[in-house]
Amino acid sequence: MTPTSLTEPPRFDDLHGARYDELYREAHRMLWALNELDGPAITVPCGFTDSGLPVGLQLCAPSGRDADVLSAAERVENVLTEQHVPTH
């Protein structure tokens, strides 16, 4: 179990040029690391930042354990369904 991203979701204004490339690399670092292990992984929403942006939780398992990851994701989602999208 890891955070899906090590950074908060970027502001739309930051999504251009070299800054976009930097944010993309940083945000996807955990995804790339686990992808190298060749096992199943899934991301489930798990809450919100203080500013109301969504964050995710990544669940992973050894190769061939796809059903375990899906089952764990379902359990996590069931526990977290009480969280509501913040209103602005």
Query: Phi and psi (nearest 5°) for 52?
Result: 90, 10
55 SS3 class: strand
- Give pLDDT, residue 53: 83
Enumerate residues 6+ apart whose C-beta is below 8 A from 4.
30, 31, 43, 55, 56, 57, 58
Query: Which pLDDT band, with edges at 50, 70 and 90, does 18 fall under?
Result: confident
Q: Where are the domains of the chain?
A: 2-80
Whether residue 60 has pLDDT greater than 60? yes
Of all residues in the chain, the percent with pLDDT exceeding 90 is: 24
Give dist(CA 70, CA 47) in Å, integer.
19
- Give pLDDT, residue 84: 59
Pick from 17-21, 32-36, 43-47, 72-76 the range whose average pLDDT is largest.
72-76
